[in-house]
Amino acid sequence: MPDIDASNGERLILILHEHWVRYVRLVLIYLMLLVCSALIFYAAAVTAYHYDIVTQLLLLFAVVLLLVDHHWFFMAMLSQAENHILVTSDRVICIRHRIFFDEEMHEYAFSKMKFVEAEKTGFLQYLLQYGTLKFESGTPIPYVPHPSAAARAIEQTMGLT
């Protein structure tokens, strides 16, 4: 968690979590690998009485695939749940965390910002109410729930409205 300097009068205004649509790709990959593992288990059962070594190899591969799939999914979901967007009275902080690999933190200081822009592209983003926050410099922040409301809150904090 970044240091929020209370001695300078910096206050936490808003905490945003990324939109749930961020998890859809992970869930689809997980389910696809789960189905593949089940099919390999089925192939091992079909060959059980005919080919002893093939059955054992298929069974071993299915078990390894199932274990790797479960562990990857758990780690990926925990990593995604750690992503936050913090709005303080002085800056916007975007934290992206991947467990065991890396942690990124992008700061957008209000003293260097002139505007914040909310963007929704495509039917799905309008339907599910998520989008991207863009600043004049730095990387955009994707998967923001209700980006227009978040942009308004940031603009109010900056004193632009």
Q: Could you read off the pLDDT of 52-99 as tens digits, one per residue?
A: 898 999 999 999 999 999 999 999 999 888 889 999 988 899 998 888
CA dihedral (135, 4, 82, 22) in degrees, to 10, reads -20
CB distance 140 to 133 below 8 Å? yes
Buried b (16+ CB within 10 A) or exposed e, 97-133: beeeeeeeeeebebeebeebebebeeeebeeeebbbb
Question: For a pLDDT cut of 70, what percent of the chain falls above it?
Answer: 94
CA distances from 69 to 27, 55, 149 (A): 11, 21, 37
Supply the Cα-derived Rg of the chain in whole angstroms: 22
- In this predicted structure, what is the pLDDT of residue 71? 96
CA distances from 36 to 2, 26, 28, 69, 74 (A): 41, 15, 12, 10, 18
pLDDT at 49 over 90: no
Count of CB atoms situated within 10 Å of the CB of 58 = 20
For residues 33 and 70, what is the distance between their CA atoms, to the nearest angstrom?
9
For residues 48 and 54, what is the distance between their CA atoms, to the nearest angstrom?
8
- What confidence tier does 114 reach under pLDDT thresholds 50, 70, 90? confident
**HSE of 43, CA atoms in CB hemisphere, 13 A:** 16
pLDDT at 48 over 60: yes
- For the ranges 8-22, 29-43, 142-156, the one whose mean pLDDT is highest: 29-43
- What confidence tier does 33 reach under pLDDT thresholds 50, 70, 90? very high
